[in-house]
Structure 1
């Protein structure tokens, strides 16, 4: 990435993707080993670098803390992409995937591929497992739209509370493995850098992180599937998770429940299931009475909503979920 940095440091200018591709042609002449890699994979690396730098310059322009893109060495560069199926970079042959310049690799498909495959990305996980991800183009055939509506208040005590009073318990995946992770990290810190023991200890830590992430993602998929199968309109708060995680007392718990992941997965499943997701402004959803609309101030420790104006008494989170549902319906007119 230094060929991008040098013009910036010397001339305060950025070079185009077209220019970097011309440099790549010269590189392949200077470094014959690059010819062992499929040409479009190398071009895709240039695209990734270009996108990273465009994001950097956008952050500089907007006054954010920009953070110059980090160089990725061979131990950190964990994926590569064949960007065009029609160019012959990859193809299926029985239960094997033929990858140009690599050969035939046996694959286990966890579900049938629908539509026309456009790109193929091969990824190595932190624990050394290999995955292949296809992007496809297809015409969806969504299920008929359902008329049922639900508002959902996500939280820490319960993972989510529905406007109908149902609660989804918080699985606390990170908290469950926290002791095992701390023990593995202590052992890692004691091993000398560059030793086989440290490499082994690092892999144990990565395995624990991977297990937590897999459980969390599986929970998000299963829970979101149940919701989109039941409800036609699903309303969430549009939460600013980054700001909320600045609270040192809640940051770890908020990261553990992964609300953003859950909402994103729900949105991805909604269309095919005949549902749609609405995000609403979270302001005062917990403080406002769902019965009369008056503001009833309460701290986080108060778990019951008790309105002195209309006498409504109910679970605090359900009251918020009803307000969220109402806002979602109002946004649709």
Structure 2
């Protein structure tokens, strides 16, 4: 089982300067390698779409790829000796990032969806570097040893799973595979990628009939099939006045000035507070659901498509995608299940008789003329989601 834990670190002034210098040098190298890729495409692109039967074909130059760009790092340290201050594993991650960005642009991801043309990173936009190999004994007694940077204090707000004392995370049953250092608005963080020796299994007293369906929304964050509902917190809407004031201060400062940099940092901290508060709400809401039910049925929503609508701001404020991800991860770790069902028609179909009752989004009550049932539109949808989730779960259990 693979999980990630993130901790805040407290580097000294010298260590913070080393981290900032490392990020800046990696940013320059990233832009250089990306420019190499673009230059090759421009120089070897044919300006016409047809040619005569007999023509001269110029010799193509060697195409930059992950392997030859990675090999060029040896010469880089000779030409620019200051790059020796960066650990080799950290430096080798740069051509890997370039390769991934180019592949997403030209070929797309596993689903075939392509990204836009990769952009060069401006100053301060390269925020993370990774140690691809890390030994667990380098994280002991709330201190982490990062090569070329030093021994840094870590705020361990929670222990690695199964760790009794936190003195040696290697003895907990989880091995640290990679460590990423990230610079955020309020300081520096390390993200530990952990690989567990145990495989997540269904808990012994798992009850398949202990299931609930939830219908996410904007007025209520979710309405459950048992009739309970959680009001949408709307953290972004509540913080809009503070964000507007901070944004106004940024726009009034002179570009390139120190006062503008300070104002940008304050604005970023305000945005981070909103994101952190929302994430905390998602974790607590997911825990309450999984403490009560063994199976949670949710709609498989196309959130990216919904994000293009006039409700985009409210949908992003709700953070449905993050909530479902957190819910699924917590369920997997606890030996429980989250079932995703087809969302088509859950609000229109009657949960009692199955009759389709078409109604606009503004109509919040479901009144079925066929069976005369009258209930909240969201509650009706959650009952349909529960029924579909029950059917999908039975199919899964039979196939396994």
Shorter-chain TM-score range: over 0.9
For residues 143-292 of structure 1, what are the structure 2 equivalents within 5 Å?
143-144=203-204, 145-147=206-208, 148-248=210-310, 250-292=311-353
Do 1:159 and 1:169's aligned partners in 2 also have CA atoms closer than 8 Å?
A: yes
Q: In the superposition, relative to structure 1, how do residues 329 and 14 fare at CA in structure 2: closer, same or farther (>3 Å)?
A: farther
Query: How far is 1:203 from its partner?
Result: 1.4
Tell me the distance in 2 between the aligned counterparts of 1:216 and 1:76. 24
3-state DSSP class of the match of 1:246? Answer: coil
Query: Match of 2:90?
Result: 41
3-state DSSP class of the match of 1:223? Answer: helix
Query: Match of 1:132?
Result: 190
3-state DSSP class of the match of 2:345? Answer: coil
Residues 240-271 of structure 1: per-residue CA shift (max 9 Å, x gap): 112112222x1111110000000000001001
Give the alignment's TM-score, normalised by structure 1. Answer: 0.93
1:122 aligns with 2:169: no
Query: Match of 1:9?
Result: 42
Do 2:212 and 2:295's aligned partners in 1 also have CA atoms closer than 8 Å?
A: yes
Residues 180-222 of structure 1: per-residue CA shift (max 9 Å, x gap): 1111111211111011221121112111101100000000111
3-state DSSP class of the match of 2:107? Answer: helix
Do 2:347 and 2:381's aligned partners in 1 also have CA atoms closer than 8 Å?
A: yes
Could you tell which deviates more after superposition, 267-276 or 69-78? 69-78
Q: In the superposition, relative to structure 1, how do residues 151 and 313 fare at CA in structure 2: closer, same or farther (>3 Å)?
A: same
Query: How far is 1:10 from its partner?
Result: 2.0
Q: Give the alignment partner of residue 112 of structure 1, picking from 148, 159, 176.
A: 159
Q: In the superposition, relative to structure 1, how do residues 51 and 63 fare at CA in structure 2: closer, same or farther (>3 Å)?
A: closer
Tell me the distance in 2 between the aligned counterparts of 1:271 and 1:60. 25
Give the alignment's TM-score, normalised by structure 2. Answer: 0.78
Tell me the distance in 1 between the aligned counterparts of 2:104 and 2:120. 15
Tell me the distance in 2 between the aligned counterparts of 1:61 and 1:324. 28
1:83 aligns with 2:97: no
Q: In the superposition, relative to structure 1, how do residues 14 and 262 fare at CA in structure 2: closer, same or farther (>3 Å)?
A: farther
Tell me the distance in 2 between the aligned counterparts of 1:14 and 1:246. 38
Q: Give the alignment partner of residue 99 of structure 2, picking from 50, 75, 81.
A: 50
* Structure with the greater alpha carbon radius of gyration: 2
Query: How far is 1:312 from its partner?
Result: 1.0
Cα RMSD between the aligned structures? 2.1
Tell me the distance in 2 between the aligned counterparts of 1:267 and 1:295. 31
3-state DSSP class of the match of 1:222? Answer: helix
3-state DSSP class of the match of 2:177? Answer: strand
Tell me the distance in 1 between the aligned counterparts of 2:335 and 2:195. 19
Query: Which sections of structure 1, spanning at least 5 residues, go unmatched?
Result: none
Tell me the distance in 1 between the aligned counterparts of 2:186 and 2:275. 15
Tell me the distance in 2 between the aligned counterparts of 1:267 and 1:75. 33
Q: In the superposition, relative to structure 1, how do residues 190 and 74 fare at CA in structure 2: closer, same or farther (>3 Å)?
A: closer
Do 1:116 and 1:136's aligned partners in 2 also have CA atoms closer than 8 Å?
A: yes
Do 2:179 and 2:191's aligned partners in 1 also have CA atoms closer than 8 Å?
A: yes
Q: Give the alignment partner of residue 19 of structure 1, picking from 68, 86, 105.
A: 68
What number of residue pairs does the alignment pair up?
Answer: 329
3-state DSSP class of the match of 1:71? Answer: coil
Query: How far is 1:316 from its partner?
Result: 0.6
